[in-house]
Amino acid sequence: MTQENECVSESNPNINDLNEVTTRPYRVTMEFPLFFTILSVSLSGAAISNILLYRTCVHSLNHTTEECQVFLSPVRNNGSQELEEQVQKYAAFVATVRTILESLAPAVLSLFLGVWSDKHGRKPLIVWPLFGMSISGGLMVIYSMMEDLGPWWFILTVIPMSMVGGFTALFTGAFCYLSDITTKETRSLRMTIVEASVSVGSVIGSLASSYLLRAVGNVYLLLITASLCVIAYVFTNCCLEESLPGVTKGGIRSVLDYKLIKEMIAECFKKRPNYGRAQILLLTVANSLSIFIMYGTLSLGYLYTRKQLHWAIQQYTVYSAAHTTIAFVGSFIGVMLVQKFFKVSDLALSIIAFLSTGVEYVIKAFAVTSWHMYLAASISLFRDLSSPLIRSLITKILPPQDIAKVFALMCAIEGIAPLISPAIYNSLYAYTISTFPGAFYLLCAGITGICVTFLGFVQYFRWKTGTTAVAYQNLTNE
């Protein structure tokens, strides 16, 4: 998620002249809209899954409303296992198509937006996605009110959000904005506060969703979440100042400039000393595979626990909140305690994070009781550190003018992940739901093992060439 160094490039004339901007006093900027946006997503997630299951049951599988009513309840009933499997298989397919459609435009835009914002400003990358999310949230409310619409109509609600870049554009703009307005001394604190606001929004939304659903029902819950997106958009559009001086307005033609892609590819794949090119590409692919796993499992966690452990929304949202809290605390422990006092490198701690995450997936795959899920979450305490630490290492082994290009490549690969991984994961889940529904978690463990292998090669190259923190610059010079 953290993309602050993508924005710090010596080749950017607007970024080099920020003395006036960076000396501004502390201001609440991105924490507020990001908190409300993530809170909205967390509040609506499980409710949307239940609506999708219910509409699939009634409209696509032609069961009666009485038979399908069980899918709308925040409390799990002992319904038919056969009906549950039929509905989940079909709903997983719908969710796959929805995720692909939602991710298509951001995957294309991710090739351009980072460098585009250097000239045309950060604020559009923040305002546009929030506007699209507000429209999508309103369409979701309309969809929930029109009970005659089947599950496939649900897919259309994501188009406005997708066409303006989605979360890819939002977080790219947000972290670039913070990089512009902060100094090196305050940047880490501000980034930590932003990460905290995202985690707090996720935890609060997860814990409150089932209770709000009981209190107000599906339609009003989705109306609340749409209102939160509107509040975030209005605040950002009216109160947020542009962080770069001297920016110019740019339209869609200025975004889709293919010369930027050519320059990015040339820099990322050029030969470097001390196995530099191999190290950069291995780090980039390893980080992108972790995103591949995230998108693949995004819509399956609730379905799996509902099938395997007979959880309802309330049990799942409590677990989700605990899972997020453990990862949040683990990130602070890893960076502020393990790295500071035990002098563990970025690369070594990234390997530890991937190894613990692999163990988590194996435990989840064979979980038979609820405490197994919590045990798995506790073991993978450092799971959220892999991505920021890999990004941190990349910034240390590259000259400033190449950082944006490598991060653009990483962003482009990550943008492709949601187009492929949901199809693979949801197909596997649908195929194994009757025999071994946790099979997709074993796939996660296998891919995590590949990430560990790639990072192991990077560590080997660094040992072989004797590269140390002092000699980082030698890796980058031709």
CB within 8 Å of 380: residues ≥ 6 apart: 327, 330, 353, 356, 357, 359, 360
The b-or-e profile of 429-456 (16+ CB within 10 A means b, else e) is bbeebeeebbbbbbbbbebbeebbebbe
User: Is residue 223 located within the same domain as residue 330?
Assistant: no
Q: Using alpha carbons only, how large is the chain's radius of gyration in Å?
A: 22
How far is the C-alpha of 54 from the C-alpha of 46, rounded, in Å?
Answer: 12
Domain boundary among 256, 275, 293: 256
Note the pLDDT of residue 358.
96
Residue type, 432: T
CA 290 to chain centre: 10
How far is the C-alpha of 12 from the C-alpha of 213, rounded, in Å?
Answer: 48
Expressed as residue numbers, the domain containing 44 is 1-256
User: Is residue 125 located within the same domain as residue 149?
Assistant: yes
CA atoms within 13 A on the CB side of 72: 19
User: Is residue 368 located within the same domain as residue 245?
Assistant: no
Cα distance from N-terminal residue to C-terminal residue, the chain: 30
Note the pLDDT of residue 189.
55
Three-state DSSP class for 75?
A: coil
Q: What is the mean pLDDT of each run of 10 residues along the chain (478 residues)?
A: 44 47 49 87 83 89 83 63 81 82 82 75 87 94 90 91 86 75 61 72 81 84 93 90 78 72 76 86 91 86 88 82 84 77 84 94 95 94 82 74 69 77 88 92 96 94 68 44
Domain boundary among 226, 256, 286: 256
Residue type, 140: M
Q: Which tokens belong to 215?
A: 């209190």
Q: How many domains does the chain have?
A: 2
How far is the C-alpha of 67 from the C-alpha of 424, rounded, in Å?
Answer: 30
Residue with the two structure tokens 């305490």: 381
The b-or-e profile of 230-257 (16+ CB within 10 A means b, else e) is bbbbeebeeebeebbeebeeeeeeebee
| Angle of the 166-181 helix axis to the 184-239 helix axis, nearest 10 | 120
Q: What is the CATH number of the domain that holds 309?
A: 1.20.1250.20
DSSP notation for 456-470: HHHHHHHHHHT--GG
Three-state DSSP class for 466?
A: coil
Q: What is the largest CA-CA distance in the chain?
A: 70
Note the pLDDT of residue 143.
92
CB within 8 Å of 342: residues ≥ 6 apart: none
User: Is residue 131 located within the same domain as residue 232?
Assistant: yes
Note the pLDDT of residue 247.
78
How far is the C-alpha of 397 from the C-alpha of 283, rounded, in Å?
Answer: 11
User: Is residue 315 located within the same domain as residue 404?
Assistant: yes
Note the pLDDT of residue 401.
62
Three-state DSSP class for 249?
A: coil
User: Is residue 299 located within the same domain as residue 408?
Assistant: yes
Note the pLDDT of residue 471.
39
Q: Which tokens belong to 177?
A: 């904005």
User: Is residue 231 located within the same domain as residue 314?
Assistant: no
User: Is residue 314 located within the same domain as residue 445?
Assistant: yes
Residue 398 and residue 476 in contact, taking contact as beta carbons nearer than 8 Å: yes
User: Is residue 334 located within the same domain as residue 238?
Assistant: no
CB within 8 Å of 440: residues ≥ 6 apart: 296, 297, 300, 304, 425, 428, 429, 432
Domain boundary among 239, 256, 273: 256
Question: How is residue 397 annotated by DSSP?
Answer: S
How far is the C-alpha of 15 from the C-alpha of 17, rounded, in Å?
Answer: 6
Q: Which tokens belong to 335?
A: 């960076």
User: Is residue 283 located within the same domain as residue 169?
Assistant: no
Three-state DSSP class for 437?
A: coil
Angle at 409 (CA atoms; ends 423, 258), nearest 5 degrees: 100
How far is the C-alpha of 389 from the C-alpha of 452, rounded, in Å?
Answer: 14
Residue with the two structure tokens 């990550």: 414
User: Is residue 94 located within the same domain as residue 224?
Assistant: yes
User: Is residue 340 located within the same domain as residue 193?
Assistant: no
Note the pLDDT of residue 364.
96
